[in-house]
Amino acid sequence: MDRLASALLAFPPGASLDGLSDNAAFDQAVKPHVSNLSKILSDHSAELIGHAPQLLELLDPAVNSLSYLAVLHALIFPRPDPSVSIDVILDALVSFLLSFDGRQCRYARGHLQDIFNAAGSGQLLPPSVAVETLALAILNLEPTGSILTSSHLLLAKLAYTTNNIEPALDVIDKKIVFYPGMANCGEPKYLCDLSLSPPAYISRDTGLTSPLKSSSIMEYDLLCGLMYSSRRDWSKACQAFERVVTFPTREGGASKIMVEAYKKWLLVSLLSKGNLGETPPYTGATAAKLYLNFTKPYATIAGLFVADDAEELKAHAEKNAQLWSDDGNTGLIHEVLAAYQKWQVISLERIYSKISLSEIREQTTSAETGGRLENDEAIETLIQNMIISGMLKGVIEKNDDGLSYLTFLPPSTNLSEHEFARELATTAARLKKLQPIFKATNERLSTNRDYIKHVIKDAKQREKSEQDPIGSFDAHVDDEDLMGGVVATG
């Protein structure tokens, strides 16, 4: 026990991380400790398990993170050890995930991923606890949340299937910039260097993530879209589904998951914007054609949504009820029908600044019933719910004659001095967080052969433009472009 405790407490030296701010010193101290832990796990695992409760009490997961991880790993894998109380194991698991030193655990290799997988399996911890602790652990290891890992996919699956979405939002709200296995990331000199870009220390080589196939990346974005949809955050759901719809594929084709995402993107676009925008221009040409061929009933829904025919929209939705059910989109169809009249109300702002509720009832129809609402009270309830949800900027007022009116309010654009200062501070903080990402992207591009060719070609073209500005203009403009915008007069 004493020998084990001494070995486990050997790092950090002096029982504190304060003296290891220097990367070289940290790296030099941690590597022998990792080697010793590997030997203990392979040669003395039974002894480690036998004294595990006492060792866990002795170790601080926030300071002795690697040693605490070694004991925890021995207790859980290949299966939770029956000689130790499951409550002790689970308490240790949660304590570690909530407090481990992210810098130190960059050296943990596959053992850390094993613990993440155990937490995200849904078999050890209650789902609500598992989602929250795993989300915090992912951001503890990589605070920017800018690289997609296998743990992200695990978290998204567990959060969505168990309906514990709120605790996962801090992770899924992050903008993904990097992916495992990206080329030209370079070999880090010190894994502990806090200035490293995420893909430099989170990769298959370091063991902190598993490789991700293109289908896994699309599955993650699809799950994000579904989670946002369940929260009625239509704008973010639309963006998530769009990432799947526009995913680059060989020969510009479309997989089954892309077609399914397109169906949801069509519906969520209606909910988010009140109309269907054009398919993003960077969508593969072949994929765009496939979408049109395989989603015609959905395209009809979109067309009827912007038309003034609530009865036909309701009839088409009911006619294809089995299709929506088979595709798992019944809920979204119901949301679309409920939103139809709401967007009609919003469209009235283009004509009126103030309009009576009775006029709104006459000029709008419900796709849920196929006709007008029964009375002004029903219209008032509808509008009040829109105002409360933030969908509509307006206020309901009563005139002296007793008639109720909706007054549309302009969006607030004037900020107080305090609000303006807060906006500036938020923007500055966001830009500061983007600096490491910009640096990493710039370094990757500077070693990419295709990008270098592009830069050389662009430089030569600029040089030519400076020497012969008229010739360069002719070289860049096609005959067809020269004719664009010319209108015959006379």
Last residue of a domain, one of 354, 386, 412: 412
pLDDT at 486: 35
Q: Give the pLDDT band (50/70/90) at residue 233.
A: very high
Any domain includes 407: yes
Q: How far apart (Å, rounded) are the C-alpha atoms in residues 232 and 161?
A: 17
In a domain, 228, yes or no: no
Residue 479: its pLDDT value, please? 35
Mean model confidence pLDDT for the chain: 88
Closest CA to 219 of 252, 243, 253, 191: 243
Report the CATH number that the domain containing residue 361 is assigned in CATH. Answer: 1.10.10
pLDDT above 90 coverage of the chain, percent = 72
Of 11-15, 209-213, 438-442, the one with minimum mean pLDDT is 438-442
| Predicted confidence (pLDDT) per residue in 165-185, tens digit | 999 999 999 999 999 877 666
**Which pLDDT score, from 0 to 100, does residue 471 have?**
42
Residue at 65 is within a domain? yes
Residue 265 placed within a domain: no
Q: Please tell me the total count of domains within the chain.
A: 2
**Cα–Cα distance, 419 to 170 (Å, whole number):** 24
Residue 279 has a pLDDT of 83
Higher pLDDT, 466 or 279: 279
The answer to which of 284-288, 315-319, 333-337, 361-365 has the lowest mean pLDDT is 284-288
Range of the domain at 45: 1-108
pLDDT at 221: 98
Q: What is the mean pLDDT of residues 36-44?
A: 93
Is 205 inside a domain boundary?
no
Residue 31 lies in a domain: yes
Q: Is residue 361 part of a domain?
A: yes
Q: Is the pLDDT at 437 greater than 70, yes or no? A: no
Which residue among 412, 432, 461 closes a domain?
A: 412
Among 385, 412, 439, the domain boundary falls at: 412
Do the domain assignments include residue 33?
A: yes
pLDDT confidence tier of residue 293, bands split at 50, 70 and 90: very high
Model confidence at 102, pLDDT cuts 50, 70, 90, reads very high
pLDDT at residue 220 greater than cutoff 60: yes
Give the pLDDT score at 226. 98
What is the rounded distance in angstroms from the CA atom of residue 138 to the CA atom of residue 346? 41
395 to 97, 344, 389: CA distances (angstroms): 47, 17, 13
Q: Is 122 left (phi over 0), alpha (psi -120 to 50) or beta?
A: left
Average pLDDT in the 397-412 region?
86
